[in-house]
Amino acid sequence: MTKIRIGLIGCGFMGRAHSNAHNRVPNFFPELKCKPVLQAVCDSNADCVKGFAEQWGYASTETDWRKLIERPDIDVVEICVPNKYHREIAVAAAAQGKMILCEKPLCMNTAEGEEMAAAVEKAGVANMVSYNYRRMPAVSLAKALIDSGKLGRIYHYRSNFLQDWCISASVPQGGDSTWRLDVGSAGSGVTGDLLAHCIDTAIWLNGGIKTVTAMTETFIKERMHVETGKMQPVGIDDACSFLCRFDNGSLGLFESTRYACGHKALFTFEINGEHASLKWDLHDLHRLEMFDHNDPGPVRGWRSIHVTDHGGDHPYMERWWVPGLQIGYEHSFVHQAADFMKSLETGEPCSPTFRDALKTQAVCEAVLNSASAGSWALL
């Protein structure tokens, strides 16, 4: 058994999700030879990092990420801080020979992403970007069905990620909780935060995107900035939608917003093939919908598959409880952490690597460019 010593940077929502994942891996994936150990956690807020370490069981703390990445007792650096810091930390950590697990989106723009991918490749270190939804059992099952050829030629792909938490003008920008509304910290709004998930899943399931036309909007033009206490212009996109064409000839339709009253985290995708179609919705993440045209005519219909079966039927589920008993959001992170540990054992890269995630970054960038130029953008 090899201990893989984790050094986490960032004590926010994602820091919690990653910490929980590592804690669960030994319980649910006991056969793994590489076992994560919570070695150190780093946050610039000294009070906060102490409490976090105690709550999650980290052996030590740091307040300067540069210290953390230099520590010889750290094997993996996990980057769970706002997007604007990803590049600098990742490049420095790679230079120290650390493995890196980076939160999505990879970075602020493709130039940064190229630098990051080059850095980890030069250093020869394991690296991965946390597009966790790939490892939801229902999504993994969709991937397996598509790859099996069951759908045949693909005609359509559509996906959206709709939220409603920004409708109130009193939500501020900047700071620890709302840095996603501050363009300086996040780089973009829903495009990097939400559409990035849609795009990563789409590319994984349906292949590359070659051309896009997009539209963005900022509905609320000014919000109070937490750091200045003043009303400041909002620089991010509140909503973004785009049309696209995939390499395989299918048509795509994507939409994201934080102004869709009634949707808290409605991440959906649907793919229509010649023979069958699939649908998924994060709000009921344990279900996959499938329509199979090869069913006999009288009994053709959308099947609601409760993705909780054992015996190899449903990815990852044998690890958990018994059929019919659903798992939740956090489990995608547990599966991701386990697959990453497994990859260290086998030496195979664990997808999506930085290089893989660059493709999503490129689509995001093309989308924002298209919206800004008012024209189609090529990839």
Please work out, in degrees rounded to the nearest 5, the angle formed at the alpha carbon of residue 113 by the alpha carbons of 265 and 94. Answer: 110
By CB under 8 A, name the one of 175, 306, 349, 351 that touches a second copy.
306
Q: Compute, in degrees rounded to 10, the torsion defined by CA atoms 130, 1, 75, 100.
A: -20
Of 127 and 370, nearer to a second copy (C-beta) is 370
Please work out, in degrees rounded to the nearest 5, the angle formed at the alpha carbon of residue 188 by the alpha carbons of 100 and 107. Answer: 20
By CB under 8 A, name the one of 63, 96, 218, 272 that touches a second copy.
272
Residues binding a second copy: number (CB under 8 A):
97
The SS3 of residue 315 is coil
The whole-angstrom separation of Cα 372 and Cα 182 is: 18
In the complex, the smallest distance separating the C-beta of residue 330 from a second copy, rounded to whole angstroms, is 7
In the complex, the smallest distance separating the C-beta of residue 347 from a second copy, rounded to whole angstroms, is 25
Q: Is 213 in the site for a second copy (CB under 8 A)?
A: yes
By CB under 8 A, name the one of 64, 73, 222, 313 that touches a second copy.
313
In the complex, the smallest distance separating the C-beta of residue 303 from a second copy, rounded to whole angstroms, is 4
Of 295 and 345, nearer to a second copy (C-beta) is 295
Cα 320–chain centre separation: 22
Q: Where in 107-136 is the site for a second copy (CB under 8 A)?
A: none
Closest CA to 271 of 332, 203, 214, 212: 203
Structure-token match 């991440």, residue found? 267
**Distant-in-sequence, close-in-space partners of 124: CB < 8 Å, separation ≥ 6:** none
End-to-end CA distance of the chain: 44
Q: Compute, in degrees rounded to 10, the torsion defined by CA atoms 106, 199, 196, 118.
A: 10
306: left (phi over 0), alpha (psi -120 to 50) or beta: beta
Interface with a second copy by CB under 8 A: which range of 53-61, 77-85, 194-202, 344-352? 53-61
Q: Is 27 in the site for a second copy (CB under 8 A)?
A: yes
Of 81 and 239, nearer to a second copy (C-beta) is 239
In the complex, the smallest distance separating the C-beta of residue 292 from a second copy, rounded to whole angstroms, is 7
By CB under 8 A, name the one of 282, 337, 357, 377 that touches a second copy.
282
Q: Is 241 in the site for a second copy (CB under 8 A)?
A: yes
In the complex, the smallest distance separating the C-beta of residue 128 from a second copy, rounded to whole angstroms, is 21
Of 5 and 71, nearer to a second copy (C-beta) is 5
The SS3 of residue 184 is helix
